């Protein structure tokens, strides 16, 4: 198994290069680091290992609740392994783990991961009260026989790329900015479940998705993007919100797949968010709503076709 759910369960059979971080969203900065780490591991016949945490340390230390994550732990591990990482270790983060001294954690990395090299950013710190900073780890490496490689943080427009900035962009509805920082469109995936059937009644059947309750949702509104169903892909106009015309109160994620008419209840769907077409609105009549949906579909289709053409042109 290449995804290991606790450091103490790992027992690698050859030396590794390790990097440590939360890597939520695996944005362009993370990707740059991972590509370089994988290349170095391949060239030196070592394993490429990412140690990450769940829950996010900020969630535990600051008592955060609600929607915070850009992807599930398993989605993150899958994405990292697709980039060539040999092993992803998702370490549970709790009160016990946060009190582990940095030197003890270093010993565990050496024992369980056969760590020969540790790659970290200049602002990295690990262990109790963040005592394991770059200076501390460099001294540990000299004493215990592993190398430390300090990585420059990736900047864009003079700003350091961060998962926090991406969360804020998504929650404000700026999905184009989020796409620039992520290197891909933000997406959500989940099982298609039964809703109230109102979309079908007005001629626009939507797929009501069950989304992980801790994952960040875009601001309420209508979005153009793509829906993936297995190996198939369809244009989709996705409503995120409470459906005020129908006096709804719970936020739902409901994509309308263009040129599609199949029963997909119980199947897993992934929907991307390329552009916010408009905020969610309450209409005075069902006919007015239907007219607006027709317009959304026309505008969204044109946008996605143009986006596809520009990408194909390079």
* pLDDT score, position 204: 86
Task: Tell me which residue of 68, 311, 243, 42 sits closest to 166, measured CA to CA.
Answer: 68
* pLDDT score, position 247: 65
Mean pLDDT of the chain: 93
Q: Are residues 70 and 147 in the same domain?
A: yes
Q: Are residues 15 and 153 in the same domain?
A: yes
What's the pTM?
Answer: 0.91
Q: Are residues 111 and 184 in the same domain?
A: no
Mean pLDDT lowest for which of 80-84, 226-230, 278-282, 300-304? 278-282
| Domain region containing 246 | 172-312
Q: Are residues 252 and 206 in the same domain?
A: yes
Q: CA-to-CA distance for 185 and 212, rounded, in angstroms?
A: 18
Q: Is residue 279 scored above 70 in pLDDT?
A: yes
Tens-place pLDDT, residues 196-250: 777 777 878 899 999 999 999 999 999 999 999 999 999 999 999 987 776 666 8
* pLDDT score, position 157: 65
Is position 258 within any domain? yes
151: pLDDT confidence band, cut at 50, 70 and 90? confident
145-148 long-range contacts, Cβ below 8 Å, gap at least 24?
Answer: 146/110, 146/115, 146/116, 146/117, 146/118, 147/116, 147/117, 147/118, 148/117, 148/118, 148/120
Q: Are residues 201 and 152 in the same domain?
A: no
Tens-place pLDDT, residues 237-271: 999 998 777 666 689 999 999 999 899 999 999 99
Tens-place pLDDT, residues 89-120: 999 999 999 999 999 999 999 999 999 999 99
Q: Which of 129, 160, 191 is the last residue of a domain?
A: 160
């Amino acid at each position: 198994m290449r995804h290991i759910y606790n450091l103490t369960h790992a027992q690698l059979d050859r030396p590794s290069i390790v990097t440590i971080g939360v890597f939520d969203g695996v944005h362009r900065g993370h990707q740059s680091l991972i590509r370089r780490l994988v290349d170095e591991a391949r060239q030196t016949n070592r394993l490429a290992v990412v140690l990450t945490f769940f829950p996010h340390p900020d969630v535990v230390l600051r008592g955060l609740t609600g929607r915070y994550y850009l992807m599930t732990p398993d989605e993150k591990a899958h994405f990292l392994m697709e980039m060539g990482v040999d092993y992803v270790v998702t370490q549970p983060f709790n009160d016990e783990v946060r009190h582990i001294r940095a030197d003890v954690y270093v010993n565990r990395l050496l024992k369980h991961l056969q760590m020969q090299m540790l790659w970290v950013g200049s602002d990295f710190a690990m262990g109790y009260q963040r005592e394991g900073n770059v200076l501390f780890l460099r001294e540990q490496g000299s004493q215990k026989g592993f190398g430390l490689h300090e990585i420059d943080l990736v900047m864009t427009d003079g700003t350091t790329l961060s998962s926090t900035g991406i969360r804020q962009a998504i929650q404000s509805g700026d999905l184009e900015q989020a796409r620039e920082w992520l290197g891909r469109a933000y997406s959500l995936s989940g099982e298609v479940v039964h809703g109230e059937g109102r979309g079908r009644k007005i001629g626009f059947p939507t797929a009501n998705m069950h989304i992980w309750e801790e994952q960040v949702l875009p601001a309420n509104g209508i979005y153009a993007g793509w829906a993936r169903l297995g190996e198939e892909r369809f244009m989709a106009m996705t409503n995120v919100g409470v459906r005020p015309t129908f006096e709804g109160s719970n936020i739902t994620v409901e994509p309308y797949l263009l040129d599609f008419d199949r029963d997909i209840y119980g199947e897993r769907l992934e929907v991307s968010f390329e552009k916010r077409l408009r905020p969610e609105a309450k209409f005075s009549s069902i006919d007015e709503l239907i007219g607006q949906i027709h317009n959304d579909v026309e505008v969204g289709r044109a946008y996605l076709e143009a986006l596809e053409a520009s990408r194909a042109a390079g």
